[in-house]
Amino acid sequence: MALTSFRALKLVGFWKTLSPKHRDTTNSNKTERHHYQQQSRGAPIIATQLLLQKQQLSTIGTEFSNMKPDLKSAVDSKIIIASVAAFCHGNRGIGKDGGLPWPHIREDHEFYTGLCKTTKDPNKKNGIIMGRNGWDTWNMENKNDPKMSTVVTSTSLSKDEPHCRGVARNFDEAVRMFYDAPDRHEIETIYILGGRINYEHGVTDPRCTRHIVTRILQNFESDVFFPDFEHTFRQVSHPEIDDRIRQDPTNGIQFRFEVWEKHPSDYVS
């Protein structure tokens, strides 16, 4: 909606420039007549440009109106849904036998848990979407942290699972548990922490506009893999996330943190 209003204002401003400031046809001198003639010659081109802009404006408005209510709400209120993941640079592995393919990297663990617990507004909290395996291995401190409200996606877990916001049968249901809830405006960011199917939705769903990744600069044998996303997202710099290469002091594994965002023009599709 903000995008439509902005283009409409530009259109009005452009339209005003089409009318000459002075049109005194009785007393105009040769210079004024020449200037007016020059504008008249360009009028067909300008009119064509104006028509195209009006058509684009109409198309944007139609696309926005036809969006699903939850998608429209996400775009309109600029809700950020971001994937947070670590994967091997070469084979894109993220899991092996229900766990991580690589040895524990303390800095990475502290990075993503700190990220999920931090909000710009101290009165808000973050939403978390994660799979059953991740939930089973999460410690009680994280499960009970007041800065995180977690929805677990599972087809087997009981709906009354304690210590979480709720259990969803799929990704879309998980998102709706935040969008449709009375405390919706208390949620600052929704982070996707796995598993594989949730990450796949994070790549294809227009509501997810950011990936915050730990790229492990080494390959480990894996049986679960992170989907390709680089063709629809672009890497960006972030003032609070340094993308320099780091090395774990215990196991020597090198890694770096990266932020990828979907181009604003792709938010509405």
When pLDDT is cut at 50, 70 and 90, the band that residue 51 belongs to is: low
Q: Higher pLDDT residue, 87 or 14?
A: 87
For residue 99, give the DSSP letter: B
Q: What is the pLDDT of residues 226-252, one digit of tens each?
A: 999 999 999 999 999 999 999 999 999
User: For the chain, what is the mean pLDDT?
Assistant: 80
- Give the pLDDT confidence score for residue 177 in this predicted structure: 96
CATH of domain 69-266: 3.40.430.10
When pLDDT is averaged across residues 99-125 and rounded to a whole number, the result is: 97
User: What are the E-state strand segments in 28-176?
Assistant: 80-88, 93-95, 125-131, 148-153, 166-168
**Exposure class string for 9-38: b at 16+ Cβ within 10 A, else e:** eeeeeeeeeeeeeeeeeeeeeeeeeeeeee
Q: Which H or E run contains 8? A: helix 2-16
Question: How many CA atoms lie less than 13 Å away from 222 in the CB half-sphere?
Answer: 22
> Rounded to two decimals, what is the model's pTM?
0.71
Q: Residue range 60-80: average pLDDT?
A: 50
Average pLDDT over residues 57-66: 45
pLDDT for the residue 79: 72
